[in-house]
Amino acid sequence: MADYSQKVTSSFNERMRLMRVRRKKEKLRFAEEFRIIPRWVIVLVIVLFLIAQAIALLVNLTAPERGEQVFPPELSGQGHVVLASLALAGLVTLVGIFFAAFVFLTAYVNRDAARRGMNSALWTILILIFLPTWGLIGLVIYFLMREPLPYPCPQCGASVSARFNFCPNCKCNLQPSCPQCKREVAELDKFCPYCGNDLAAGRTELAPQPSNL
């Protein structure tokens, strides 16, 4: 039992550590992130939006011929056709924005999970399953749980996973802690920011100098 709770605690600590790594190493910008959404998804959403607008307008304008009411009914008078069409177009646009935001977010998760080495099909399905009953909760869980992106080793610049303990290229300690107070410190700190312990002295003398790659 103690063994089990120890495992849960350590996996929880690892999860918290990964979240800290993500906050520290990832500087994501919206414009760059948006670009990982496949082009065809964006084109598809735009085409669907235009089709929806065209159908709504067509149905509305031909309504009087079929003896039906124009939407919105308050504007059904002869002189208000343009106004009614604009109101309808605005409504379709509003619905379209929500629809597009959801499609783009789902496409983003699909691509983002893949580049983070996560199961992208599983996460996409999870988000779609959660949607009808739990709304956007699937997205919230995803943004909390996602693995950090690989980042450049602070010493040699080689790409390293957030789960690595050491850089496979230069053996830089990627999860260093102060030997004196045991608190987490940054990879290249010279002195512990908490107790002032000299960290450079304890580091391997053989580590190569940082290169300017």
Binding-site ranges for Zn ion (CB under 5 A)? 153, 155-156, 158, 167, 169-170, 172, 178, 180-181, 192, 194-195, 197
CA-based torsion, 92, 96, 99, 103: positive or negative: positive
**Cβ(162)–Cβ(22) below 8 Å:** yes
CB of 20 to Zn ion, least distance (A): 17
Min. distance of Cβ 173 from Zn ion in angstroms?
Answer: 10
CB 136, CB 143: distance < 8 Å: no
Choose between 7 and 183: whose C-beta lies nearer to Zn ion.
183
- d(CA 182, CA 39) in angstroms, rounded, equals 48
CB of 187 to Zn ion, least distance (A): 9
Instruction: Between 103 and 188, name the residue whose CB sits nearer to Zn ion.
Output: 188
Beta bridge pairs of residue 166: 173
Pairwise CA distance, residues 95 & 101, whole Å: 10
Tokens of 28: 């994501």
User: What distance in Å separates the CA atoms of residue 170 and residue 200, rounded to the nearest whole number?
Assistant: 16
Cβ nearer to Zn ion, comparing 120 with 180: 180
Cα–Cα distance measured from residue 205 to residue 11, given in angstroms and rounded to the nearest whole number: 32
For Zn ion, which is the closer residue by CB, 61 or 188?
A: 188
d(CA 51, CA 47): 6
Nearest CB to Zn ion, comparing residues 134 and 164: 164
Q: How far is the CB of 186 from Zn ion (least distance, A)?
A: 12
Q: Looking at beta carbons only, is 107 or 185 nearer to Zn ion?
A: 185
Question: 3-state class of 130 per DSSP?
Answer: helix
Amino acid in position 180: Q
Cβ 149 to Zn ion, closest distance in Å?
16
Rounded to a whole number of angstroms, the minimum distance from the CB of residue 30 to Zn ion is: 30
Distances (CA, A) of 111 to 4, 41, 120, 138: 34, 12, 7, 16
